[in-house]
Amino acid sequence: MSDAILKPETHPTVDVEHWLGMYEQMAKIRAFEEKVNELYTRALMPGLAHLYTGQEAVAVGVCEALTREDYITSTHRGHGHCLAKGASVDRMFAELLGKEAGYCRGKGGSMHIADQETGNLGANAIVGGSVGIATGAAFAAKRLGNGRVAVCFFGEGALGQGLVYEEMNLAQLWKLPVIYVCENNLYNEYTHYTETTAGELEGRARAFGIHIEVVNGQDVRAVYDVTHRLVERARRGDGPAFLLCNTYRYYGHHVGDINRTYYRSKEEELDWSTNRDPLKTLSDWLIGAELADQETFTQIHAGVEREIEEAVQFAIDAPYPDPIEVDKHVYA
Amino acid sequence: MSMPDANGRVLTFAEAIREALAEELRRDPRVYIMGEDVAEAGTPFKVLSGLVDEFGADRVIDSPISEAGITGLAVGAAMTGMRPVVDIMFGDFITLTMDQMVNQAAKIHYMSGGKLSAPMVMRTTLGATRRSAAQHSQSLHAWFSHIPGLKVVIPSTPYDAKGLLKTAIRDHSPVVFFEDKMMYKLEGFVPEEEYTIPLGVADIKRSGADITLVATSSMVQVALEAASILAGLELSAEVVDPRTTFPLDKQTLIDSAKKTSRAIVIDEGYERYGVTAELASVIAEGAFYYLDAPVKRMGAMDVPIPFSPALEDLTVPTPQTVAEMAKTLCGKI
């Protein structure tokens, strides 16, 4: 695991506006999730949600290296992936509240947001369930010759499911343009991954001869850089890759998982949020390199807050689906 | 009754399937076949023999023995522009594909509010009495019939198999297509000219007046033979083949039962919680005031399929057992 933070020097290929754009995306995801938590706490949101807070650099770093036409599949902890791939916050909130204006007309909810227009083939509540979809999308891209790449986001918990290995085998066998992004946030729900996982995480991909990269998932620069290389590699026809991102989930497994001391310490949580926060890491670097000042970030956060407030209000005001919708879209 | 032209060609069930696939592969470049030993081997049943020669190994694709893997890959490929036909060699192996079919393929259209869809076909088999024992003999089509979002086709003749498979490949929803492996050599008339058969339209395989035998897939031939036996006893049996369990042509079943006032439902799936229960319920509700006897069900015995021929043959309905049941219902004991 490489926890080393890059030295504060100007990035060779990415200009400051691009980094600030990534910062804004991460800030938006964080503000979105804070608002989701608030909606849950105030009993304004049906069901539960699995917050992405703390892992923002993974979704943003990866999706910034993709085009709008490239595909992603996401997970139950998927709000960050959807937003990073280009979803708008108003329709996201509307979906979370079960409103017809939501991305899935309120039929999918927090765990199933799909947005065809941004290449999002859907979030999946079966932890390894979308690995087939992403690999199939890569298969189609190769067959149709459209140059697209598929990214499959999943957590380290998904490595407990066998489908992942069947798909990795197919992807490497047929050199499919798919990138398996494994976000190791240390916990399979309420259990540390070392209690569930024999051997090394990346050893699984190694068994298939798949190209492996391990990256500090709290550093958006590192995630972006490595993904950029992997995407080029996949587009060239060099086949799949496994990108292990070491990261951390600031909140519990879901919004209702409040008392967590039986499976992890408050000191551990504080260490990650204080010393390895992805937003702080990027802003410290840009300020240290005199590429931005504190005022820049204050303005970004203010803009994001406004956008979130307007989006929530839009979702709250939006109508629920008509009852006639209940048996529509069962068959295409 | 859609009996094809008696002057037409005769094909086996396997040939009809192969011809449907070849025509659809020719018609639509998005169609591909993937499965274990589908290319040069043409599957153990030789249903696909020769297809790889015409269409090449990148459209008739040999896969690893990864049923879930190729099914999941098909879901994703279908969602992004392909028309996959997945070959699952034995129906017993569908258990390995369940999450991909039930939680992914069946639900993506609904969960996405109608934006995404998975137009794919899974071809697999059903049927016992091949001495293949408990893990190569089951008829599990009820499992998929239970799931909203999936369509299920269970053809009983070469003519139906070809027309229904072509429709299934063109459907925009996931379709599971069950072929009775004992029927691959069954011959029947299949016209030269192109045709398709819509899903959800039952076919009356034999007209009759005294009792309705609703039979599916492998059980259609059993029911037809039973009808011949009954004819010798001056009982006129009507054989109705739903052809698809979903969509289900309820009206044809109900109308037949209303006409004859007696019905037996025969299907090779396990009897318990099975297709027979659903079809019998449709008839019992829809034809209640016309029935002179309770609707009877005949399915596979509720045991794992045994190997020994002496035992296996006891587990599925036969023309004799169906005829006996019909005689009892008609009061001719």
Structure tokens at B5: 């032209």
Distance CA A331, CA B245 (A): 15
| H helices present in chain A, as ranges | 16-41, 56-64, 79-84, 89-96, 131-144, 163-173, 203-206, 220-236, 266-275, 278-288, 294-317
Element (H, E) at B224: helix B218-232
Label residue A94 by pLDDT band (50, 70, 90): very high
Structure tokens at B154: 């269970």
Residue B138 C-alpha, separation from nearest chain A C-alpha, in angstroms:
24
Question: In this structure, are strands B203-206 and B237-241 parallel, antiparallel, or unpaired?
Answer: antiparallel
- CB-CB contact of A236 with A173 (8 Å): no
Does residue A10 surpass a pLDDT of 50?
no
CB spacing of B68 vs A131 below 8 angstroms:
no
Residue B274 C-alpha, separation from nearest chain A C-alpha, in angstroms:
22
Distances (CA, A) of A52 to A229, B82, B112, B137, B281: 25, 32, 21, 46, 48
Does residue A223 surpass a pLDDT of 70?
yes
- CB-CB contact of A57 with A71 (8 Å): no
Report how far apart the first and last C-alpha atoms of chain A are (Å, whole number): 45
What pLDDT was estimated at residue B64? 98
Q: Is the dihedral of CA A276, A282, A288, A293 positive or negative?
A: negative
- CB-CB contact of B55 with B30 (8 Å): no
Per-residue pLDDT, averaged over A8-27, amounts to 83
What pLDDT was estimated at residue B333? 73
- CB-CB contact of A181 with A217 (8 Å): no
Would an 8 Å CB–CB cutoff place A331 in contact with chain B?
yes
Would an 8 Å CB–CB cutoff place A258 in contact with chain B?
no
* Those residues with Cβ within 8 angstroms of residue A154's Cβ, 6 or more apart along the chain or in another chain: A75, A127, A128, A130, A131, A164, A180, A181, A182, A183
Nearest to B204 by CA among B18, B16, B3: B3
What pLDDT was estimated at residue A59? 98
Residues in B closer than 8 angstroms to A330, CB to CB, are 109-110, 148-149
DSSP 8-state secondary structure symbol assigned to residue B188:
E
Active-site positions of B read 136
Residues in A closer than 8 angstroms to B119, CB to CB, are 332
DSSP lists the bridge partners of residue A183 as A155, A245
Would an 8 Å CB–CB cutoff place A122 in contact with chain B?
yes
For A120, which residue in chain B has the nearest alpha carbon? B116
Distance CA A194, CA A191 (A): 8
Per-residue pLDDT, averaged over A196-221, amounts to 97
CB spacing of A140 vs B72 below 8 angstroms:
no
pLDDT-above-90 percentage for chain A: 95
Please list, residue by residue across B73-107, b when 16 or more beta carbons sit within 10 angstroms of its beta carbon and e when fewer do. Answer: bbbbbbbbebbbbbbbbbbbbbebbebbbbbbbbb
Report how far apart the first and last C-alpha atoms of chain B are (Å, whole number): 31
Would an 8 Å CB–CB cutoff place A133 in contact with chain B?
yes
pTM of the full structure: 0.96
Distance CA B319, CA A47 (A): 54
Q: Is the dihedral of CA A319, A325, A326, A332 positive or negative?
A: negative
Would an 8 Å CB–CB cutoff place A214 in contact with chain B?
no
Q: Per-residue pLDDT for chain B (333 aa), expressed as one digit of tens each?
A: 445 555 689 999 999 999 999 999 999 999 999 999 999 999 999 999 999 999 999 999 999 999 999 999 999 999 999 999 999 999 999 999 999 999 999 999 999 999 999 999 999 999 999 999 999 999 999 999 999 999 999 999 999 999 999 999 999 999 999 999 999 999 999 999 999 999 999 999 999 999 999 999 999 999 999 999 999 999 999 999 999 999 999 999 999 999 999 999 999 999 999 999 999 999 999 999 999 999 999 999 999 999 999 999 999 999 999 999 999 999 987
- CB-CB contact of A56 with A26 (8 Å): yes
Would an 8 Å CB–CB cutoff place A291 in contact with chain B?
no
Distance CA A185, CA A201 (A): 12
Structure tokens at A314: 């839009």
Does residue A97 surpass a pLDDT of 70?
yes
Q: Is A48 helix (H, G, I), strand (E, B) or coil?
A: coil
CB spacing of A163 vs B69 below 8 angstroms:
yes
Element (H, E) at B278: helix B275-286
Q: Which of residues 212-271 of B touch A (CB under 8 A)?
A: none
Does residue A11 surpass a pLDDT of 90?
no
For A122, which residue in chain B has the nearest alpha carbon? B112
Residues in A closer than 8 angstroms to B81, CB to CB, are 140, 144
Angle at B108 (CA atoms; ends B106, B109), nearest 5 degrees: 95
Distance CA A232, CA A65 (A): 9
Q: Which of residues 142-201 of B touch A (CB under 8 A)?
A: 148-149, 151, 172-173
What pLDDT was estimated at residue B3? 55
Does residue A243 surpass a pLDDT of 50?
yes
Element (H, E) at B300: strand B296-300
Q: Identify which of B103, B112, B151 has the shortest CB distance to residue A114.
A: B112
Q: What is the pLDDT of residues A136-181, one digit of tens each?
A: 999 999 999 999 999 999 999 999 999 999 999 999 999 999 999 9
Label residue A9 by pLDDT band (50, 70, 90): very low
Residue B238 C-alpha, separation from nearest chain A C-alpha, in angstroms:
32
Distance CA B11, CA B15 (A): 6
DSSP A243-311: EEEE---SS-SSTT----TTTS-HHHHHHHHHHS-HHHHHHHHHHHTTS--HHHHHHHHHHHHHHHHHH
- CB-CB contact of B116 with B168 (8 Å): no
Distance CA A167, CA A136 (A): 9
Nearest to A248 by CA among A64, A60, A58: A58
Distance CA B206, CA B240 (A): 7
> What does residue B297 show for φ and ψ, rounded to 5 degrees?
-120, 140
DSSP 8-state secondary structure symbol assigned to residue B199:
T
Q: What is the pLDDT of residues A248-292, one digit of tens each?
A: 999 999 999 999 999 999 999 999 999 999 999 999 999 999 999
Residues in B closer than 8 angstroms to A322, CB to CB, are none
- Mutating which of A73, A120, A139 best tests the B interface, going by the most B Cβ atoms within 10 A? A139
